Structure 1
Amino acid sequence: MLTEEKYVAVGTDGSAQADRAVEWAAAEAARRNRPLRLVHGFIWPLLRVSTAPVPGVEGSGLRAAAEDLLAAAAERARTVAPEIPITAELETGAPVPALLAAAQDAELLVIGSRRLDPVTGLIIGSVGVELAACAPCPVVVVNDGTPAAGTPQRIVVGIDGFDHEHGPAQAAAVLDFAFDAAERRAAEVVVVHATGRHGHSGAEEAAIWAAVTEWADKHPDVAVQSVTEPSSPATALLTHAAGADLLVLGAHGWGGLAGILHGSVSRQALWRAPCPVAVVRADG
């Protein structure tokens, strides 16, 4: 039975990246048995630009174009998940505020993005970075990296240590999201803990794997693989994310908020990961 108190929200602007996000979000909404809400930030009224039709030209004008964009996105979503309710909202405002408003009552927010350009190294698209840092619910950034056909389903989880204020709560939120995603897909969970060159204490290692064991016990049908890598977090996560269905990171710690804003692991993952990336807040 479909429940409507929560929904999956997805931003769309008619681009190829947004189309991939709409398809991913529709499939995820079906897996979660949730409605899908399509959102387009319609900024032109704020810029005092006329959105009315061109006189004598039926169906013209910026508003009509935006409505057509949403209609096309809804049709794309229906081809993926015809059984779920789908609504489309034209929100006046810039993309980030419009999507943050939609995220307030969402179970999940999905957006599309291209990865870091491998030739020029230019950063393409900062909306995902800002939303991942600010949204009150988990955010999934769907890029142009997808698993190869026939690849075993895997959810890769990045866990840092328990040596900071948010460590235990963040680990719990990330593991809960990852095991739930794996169970819905009949996928394996691969937990990656990168220690760097200097390693971590035995107590910290024990705390991390105790947390993993707790969530594995809650999801006995999910296969779990735990990996400790003596390399940098970014290197370890991007290596294991190759061919994965989803890479799950936290919004605190080396997979987290400070990194998203100032250049650490999450930013590299959002721009370079070869699969969709979920950023989960401890309170999200």
Structure 2
Amino acid sequence: MPAPDRIVVGYDGSQQAALAVRWAARHAALLDSELQVVHCSLWPLLTHDLGPVKGVAGSGLQHQAEAILEEGRAEAESAAPGTTVLDSLVYGLPAGHLRRMAEDARMLVLGSRGIGGFLGLLVGSVSLELAATASCPVAVIRFDKHPEGRVVVGIDPTGSAGALRLACDVAMVTGAELMIIHVTRPQDGTVYSPAGGLEAARRLLEKSTATARALAPTVAVNQDLVRDSSVPRALLNAARGAALIVVGSKGHGILKGTVGSDAHAVLHHATGPVLISRN
């Protein structure tokens, strides 16, 4: 991954955010990066009374915000001793602050804090917004059950150069196997691929595999051409037991500033960390 060597992670005191901080800290150590833990306090938007309660030590909303930030920093230092950990307490809505603070970062890492009532649809609005609008790659950590697993990257007919490069970088530093997936879709009884047919899809996959082996010469690189009517479903099936799935942010999104529909579906249903390439 390109310099500057700084990973930004948001922390709000939740279990999901703690998982994200630990994931970010481990990867900061592997990538020899600094880690910046950010807590965004909303209280100044709601009240001016941030001070301690008279006669009650350690009370008050300001103290609470500082304690949450310190807790996030402690999570990071515990997960990756020796890594330089910075911390920042900011006030206001988190999406804008995190987007600004991660402008020149190597990666922005977020927990998944959905509040919907549907099982499987658990990515929060802040994570979705930043996955679509941040200028750097965005990792959304909902589960981290297979840290020793492979890295899976989905490539579209363009070759998804940014996603492929990110996947190679992570595989190189973790020593994980890299699996490159390209999905063709059946249509009217024949194999359809926007790349121009099955043979073109195979050539695309071979070219991407050769590129990955050049970018990550010490990594075991495998490939799979999958036929499925749903690209996200095929990617999610391939990513079972994986340490990370990497996808591009572009796709079939309708509105500017929204993540593509395939990446959106992967974010909502993934059972492991998802890394969104922004180019």
| Pairwise same-fold verdict (TM > 0.5) | yes
Distance, in Å, in 2 between the alignment partners of 1:60 and 1:178 is 45
Distance, in Å, in 1 between the alignment partners of 2:40 and 2:76 is 18
Q: CA deviation at 1:214?
A: 1.7
Distance, in Å, in 1 between the alignment partners of 2:116 and 2:143 is 11
Q: CA deviation at 1:207?
A: 3.1
The alignment status of 1:271 with 2:260, answered yes or no, reads: no
> Alignment partner of 1:106: what SS?
coil
Paired residue for 2:151, among 148, 155, 164?
155
Q: Is the 8 A contact 1:115 1:272 kept in 2?
A: no
The alignment status of 1:217 with 2:206, answered yes or no, reads: no
Distance, in Å, in 2 between the alignment partners of 1:237 and 1:196 is 13
Distance, in Å, in 1 between the alignment partners of 2:263 and 2:269 is 10
Q: CA deviation at 1:195?
A: 0.8
Q: Tell me which residue corresponds to 1:165.
A: none
> Alignment partner of 1:270: what SS?
helix
Where does the alignment leave 5 or more consecutive residues of structure 1 unmatched? 163-167
Q: Is the 8 A contact 1:114 1:271 kept in 2?
A: no
Q: Larger % of helix: which?
A: 1
After superposition, residues 131-280 of structure 1 pair within 5 angstroms as 131-147=130-146, 153-162=149-158, 168=159, 171-198=160-187, 199-200=192-193, 201=197, 202-231=199-228, 232-253=230-251, 261=258, 264-280=261-277
Q: CA deviation at 1:36?
A: 0.7
Q: What is the percentage of aligned positions where both structures have the same residue?
A: 37
Name the count of aligned residue pairs. Answer: 268
Q: Is the 8 A contact 2:132 2:259 kept in 1?
A: no
Q: Which amino acid counterpart does residue 157 of structure 2 have in structure 1?
A: G
Q: CA deviation at 1:116?
A: 8.9
Q: CA deviation at 1:272?
A: 1.0
After superposition, residues 20-99 of structure 1 pair within 5 angstroms as 20-99=19-98
Q: CA deviation at 1:120?
A: 4.8
Q: Is the 8 A contact 1:175 1:212 kept in 2?
A: no
Distance, in Å, in 1 between the alignment partners of 2:52 and 2:275 is 39
Q: Is the 8 A contact 1:40 1:98 kept in 2?
A: no
Distance, in Å, in 2 between the alignment partners of 1:155 and 1:10 is 21
Where does the alignment leave 5 or more consecutive residues of structure 2 unmatched? none
In the TM superposition, what whole-angstrom CA distance separates every residue of 1:243-270 from its partner, at most 9, and x where no partner exists? 100000001125x786993772212211
Q: Kindly report the root-mean-square deviation, in angstroms, between the aligned alpha carbons of the 2 structures.
A: 2.4
> Alignment partner of 1:38: what SS?
strand
TM-score under structure 2 length normalisation: 0.88
Q: CA deviation at 1:206?
A: 1.8
TM-score under structure 1 length normalisation: 0.86
Cα 1:196/1:117, change in 2 over 3 Å: farther
> Alignment partner of 1:261: what SS?
coil
Q: CA deviation at 1:112?
A: 0.6
Q: Is the 8 A contact 2:7 2:33 kept in 1?
A: yes
Q: Which amino acid counterpart does residue 269 of structure 2 have in structure 1?
A: R
